[in-house]
Amino acid sequence: MEFRTLEGTGLKVSVVGFGGWAIGGGYNINGNPIGYGKTDDFESLAAIEKAIDIGINLIDTADAYGGGHSECLIGQVLQARHSNCFVATKVGNQRRDPFPARKNLDYDYMVMACESSLRRLRRKVIDLYQLHNPSMAVIKSNSVWETLVDEMLKAEANYLPKF
């Protein structure tokens, strides 16, 4: 496996990462099917295991993938293997069943979402905490960055995205 240094971190990550959207399975937002449809958790767990076995150490997911199911599966494997994988997850798509989903990068929501991701991933810290498809207005605002810095200072995120 080839590795590169992740800019701003000094960490070596595999050039091929494991993307967790598909293993989240199918779910609905605002009555519309989202994701890859029905998945088999046994096969998903085996895919994560195989990725680690062949040297992949970069795992990307989001709290929205399968409504958090992707994070749960990744957490299950990483806890069992005591793996040194670098985990990147995202925040910003709030599901509010039965209400319409919405973008949410408010302070209280982001703190709650970070804590929920930590629980699902079975980790003490998130290696890279990213904003999921933020608008330019959000990127330019200070409030979202203050929240991310607060989470990093609480040691719940090791690295934040750079724009």
| Residues with catalytic roles | 65
Render pLDDT for 54-74 as a digit per residue (tens, 0 to 9): 999 999 999 989 889 999 999
Up-side HSE of residue 2: CA atoms within 13 Å toward CB? 3
- Domain 3-159: CATH superfamily, name plus number: NADP-dependent oxidoreductase domain (3.20.20.100)
Please state the domain extents for the chain.
3-159
Residue 72: both structure tokens together: 């749960």
Q: Is the dihedral of CA 153, 109, 144, 161 positive or negative?
A: positive
Contact status, residue 85 vs residue 57, Cβ threshold 8 Å: yes
| Tokens 């319409």 found at | 100
**What does the alpha-carbon distance between residue 65 and residue 41 come to, in Å, rounded to a whole number?**
14
pTM of the predicted model, to two decimals? Answer: 0.87
Q: Among 3, 2, 7, which Cα is nearest to 128's? A: 7
141: confidence class by pLDDT, cuts 50, 70, 90: confident
**What does the alpha-carbon distance between residue 132 and residue 47 come to, in Å, rounded to a whole number?**
24
What is the reported pLDDT for 35?
75
103: confidence class by pLDDT, cuts 50, 70, 90: confident
